[in-house]
Amino acid sequence: MNDNLKVKDIILKALKEDKETYDVTSEWLFDNQERSRARLIAKEEGILSGIDVFKDVFKVIDDSIVVSSALKEGESITKGQVIAEIEGSTKGILYGERTALNILQRMCGIATLTNACVKEVQNTKVKIVDTRKTAPGLRILDKIAVRAGGGFNHRFNLSDGVLIKDNHIKACGSISEAIKRVKSHAPHTLKVEIEVESVSEFLEAMNAKADIVMLDNMTLEDMKECVRLNQSNCTLEASGNMKLDRLHAVAGTGVDVISIGGLTHSVKALDISLRFE
């Protein structure tokens, strides 16, 4: 299933969730011929993400509904700015309003937070990446929003790459054994990443020829020591408790990547309203 089909599937499921049979309020207030115009207004500043998905919600409902916007994915929006104008069937606009806003507000919230994180590490080599801590069923949208904010995507799913975490290691017995088992199966095109929690574990992972080592919940001093010992053998990813006010200092240790679950698992939706004229 390609990305467009995945997005359409999300829209269809969300619309069905909101309208099991029909919208009783709108059905009893309006006939099929009534038309309205509305504006989509930002109530706070941020980064736009999901405008194309917003348009697609109404296209699925009624392709005669027109959503006009000159803004593009990843652009800045200001408080009070008109993001888009909508015109068409009154019942159709009302049916899609909540679903379209839910998706757009979440995606804008993710893009806005991601952008703030990216700005904290600007002028460094560090990439800000997401995780698989996404809302169930919404992963493709969450990850599109991260990119709109200037971040990068980690794995989309479990088949995208090897990531040996603490429970894998405990079940295998050791870091070296886990890497050995994986490398006996993995093709040369697939990178092997492993999570470690101390400098000694990092050395074991590096000596076992891991491609990427995730430094999980380490102090700044320990991260700096891993960077010193690494000498560019592995890509180093810092993770765990990566709050906005800590990112600049973490980037200063010399790591290559900072992964942040909070970009998607507990993001605050951007405040956006749809108002009829």
Q: How would DSSP label each residue in 209-234?
A: T-SEEEEES--HHHHHHHHHHHTTSS
Out of 193, 195, 204, 237, the active site residue is: 195
The secondary structure element, H or E, covering residue 183 is: helix 175-183
Out of 133, 155, 181, 191, the active site residue is: 133
* 225 catalytically annotated: no
* 165 catalytically annotated: yes
pLDDT score at 2:
66
Contacts of 277 (CB under 8 A, 6+ apart): 36, 37, 38, 39
Asked whether residue 1 carries a pLDDT value surpassing 60, the answer given is: no
Out of 130, 193, 216, 237, the active site residue is: 216
pLDDT band for position 83 (cuts 50, 70, 90): very high
* 16 catalytically annotated: no
Q: Which domains does the chain have, with CATH numbers?
A: 3-113+268-276 (3.90.1170.20), 119-265 (3.20.20.70)
Q: Which residue has the tokens 């470690």?
A: 196
Residue-wise pLDDT for 32-71, tens only, equals: 999 999 999 999 999 999 999 999 999 999 999 999 999 9
Give, rounded to a whole angstrom, the gap between the first and last alpha carbons of the chain: 39
Q: What is the mean pLDDT of residues 79-101?
A: 97
Out of 59, 98, 132, 191, the active site residue is: 98
pLDDT band for position 116 (cuts 50, 70, 90): very high
Out of 79, 165, 228, 268, the active site residue is: 165
Residue-wise pLDDT for 177-186, tens only, equals: 999 999 999 9
The secondary structure element, H or E, covering residue 3 is: helix 3-18
